[in-house]
Amino acid sequence: MRRLDQAAAEAATAPNLLIQADLAGEAAKHGAPAEEVRPLLEAARTCRAARVRGLMLMPPWSDDPEAVRPWFRRLRQLRDTLLDEGFDPAALGELSMGMTRDFEIAIGEGATMVRVGTAIFGRRTPPAAG
């Protein structure tokens, strides 16, 4: 967080950031385990340029959109707990969760941002490495 903040300050920018929480502990995905979100928010308090604005989540994949509801709920509950503990509401105003296949459920669980690239651009394949 310090390096990102330093780079932002040097570039005279003020990026808004989301902390990605990894609530499922999936090896293939990145993010902070729930117990590391607090220290990241505490570190964000000292940032000069970068500002944490919320949390985001990439839940485990499922063909059944309802199967991701518990993960969305857990992120919202984590955010609510952090607010109850006195963390700055401005640092926890956004919940980015949900994609094209499950955004309705995410919104129902409190999402303020959803990612709907597939609905807009269609199914895409990553470019070949090389």
CATH number of the domain bearing residue 49: 3.20.20.10
Domain count, the chain: 1
> Is-above-0.85 flag for pTM?
yes
What is the pLDDT averaged over residues 77-97?
97
Determine the residue type at 92: L
Question: What's the CA gap between 44 and 63, in Å, rounded?
Answer: 36
Structure-token match 């990612």, residue found: 115
Residue 30, both tokens = 């990145």
Would residue 126 count as lying in a domain? no
Name the 3-class secondary structure at 60: coil
Structure letter (DSSP) for residue 114: E
Would residue 128 count as lying in a domain? no
Domain limits at 29?
2-120
Residues 69/57, Cβ–Cβ less than 8 Å: no
Would residue 9 count as lying in a domain? yes
- For the chain, give the mean pLDDT: 91
Is the pLDDT assigned to residue 28 strictly greater than 90? no
Would residue 127 count as lying in a domain? no
